[in-house]
Amino acid sequence: MALTAHIRTNQFRSGLTKWTIGAMAMLLALLVIHVPFLPAEDELPHFDVLGKIDEIQSDWVIVNDTIIRNDGEFPPEYVRESDRIRLTRSSFQKGDFVGVEQNGIGRLKSLWKFDAPLD
């Protein structure tokens, strides 16, 4: 009887430990995925181009008559400036005021959507 109770207790502890580790791993994964690494609220990246979107497609955007192509290897980040929330490309449309951050080879690194033009 004592041996049976001991085995069941160890099985319970083992299952609880596995569940706890799994839950913590999931929590960590959610935090990493949903918390973007963005500049502090009073800091913005250096924008290479500022202006209104003339046209936007899946692999390029035209802002102020300047075409900026996506980098095929690294997808760009799309961000709303007011609350630092990540967006999708479909959240942007012709006429939106944006800031464009380019990578070292002139490809689109990030596109920031503003509620109003910057002064």
Domain residue ranges in the chain: 1-35, 49-114
Taking only the tens place, the pLDDT of each residue in 32-52 is 555 455 555 567 888 999 999
pLDDT at 98 over 60: yes
The model's pTM is 0.64
Q: What mean pLDDT value characterizes the chain?
A: 81
At residue 17, the pLDDT reads 73
pLDDT at 86 over 70: yes
Residues 73 and 84: their CA atoms lie apart, in Å, by 24
> Going by CATH, does the domain composed of 49-114 fall within 3.30.60?
no
